[in-house]
Amino acid sequence: MIKNIPDFLYEKLLRQYGEELTNKIIKGYSKNRPVTLRVNTLKGNIQNIKTKLINLGYNVKEVEWYLNALIIENIDENKIRQLDIYKNGEIYLQSLSSMIPAILLQPKQEENILDMTAAPGGKTTQLASLTNNKAFITACEKNKVRCERLKYNIEKQGAKRITVLLQDSRSLNEFFSFDKILLDSPCSGSGTLSTLDEKLEKTFTEELINRSVKTQLELLKKAIQILKPEHEMIFSTCSILKEENEENLIKAQKSGKIDIVPIEFNKETFKDIPLLPVKINGTVCICPNELYEGFFIAKIRKN
């Protein structure tokens, strides 16, 4: 182990980012992030939730780039789960980084939207919230247990017009056609590692990365196939490794069917989000730190 992460990962990060950024990433791995949550506008509103939390004695901070996100500094997730506002679905525990893909997809009412890897439902219900339950959402999950969890969260959040499919989205019929697709792909999780995890050397392996790369490319190809021409999708992972992100996009681009749409990730809109350098202009890679998990996001248009 090098600096509490597997040796091979340290070498990968060093080759991709250099020593200074690698040390910054490892420092980010070591941080204990505060609780972050999304207010579910289908059931509650931001001011009422803030007031309730403040009255309970919690330190509440707003997030400048997202009105309905909150940071709670002096509480853990277990205590949040005991609150009525959690039990009745007014709030959803979600990392800040993972809220960004659904926002960048810019879902609209009456659109047909596919969430390709939907469980446990954070982004699915966020899409429903962003469209005020007026989009038509298809949510895929191949694992039966996770699919039941997805259904539970959809119902708890009061999300409507959602069709849940117990199916691997890679096997979706090619006659499906969607206005927008959210592909938050399975990945190695290299952006969300914790140096406090004693099992990290056994659980985070090169085999995991290689398997993730293969799955992501297969999902990307299917997404491009069933996305309507001239329409857009979001591809995201909680990895910061180029082979899972930019290199898979480059492979997908060889089909000649897609263009990368530059994401306007300016400092005014997404203030204080730490970014890592990327190989493809217009894509975004978030550096793990005390508030954010490592995350990669790209917007794709089918031509």
Residue 8 has which token pair? 């091979």
For this structure, is 140 an active site residue? Answer: no
Q: How far is CA 85 from the centre of its chain?
A: 23
Q: Is residue 147 within 8 Å of 79, Cβ to Cβ? A: no
User: φ and ψ at 253, to 5 degrees?
Assistant: -65, -25
Q: Which residues contact 69 (CB under 8 A, 6 or more apart)?
A: 36, 37, 38, 39, 62, 63, 96, 99
HSE-CB at 25 with a 13 A cutoff on CA atoms is 29
CA distances from 81 to 9, 76, 96, 146 (A): 34, 9, 18, 19
Give the three-class secondary structure for 56.
Answer: coil
Distance of alpha carbon 72 from alpha carbon 145, whole angstroms? 30
Q: Which residue has the tokens 């978030």?
A: 286
Distance of alpha carbon 283 from alpha carbon 234, whole angstroms? 10
Q: Over the Cα atoms of the chain, what is R_g?
A: 19
Catalytic residue among 187, 238, 285, 287: 238
* 71 burial level (CB within 10 Å; 0-12, 13-18, 19+): middle
Q: Could you list the active site residues? A: 238
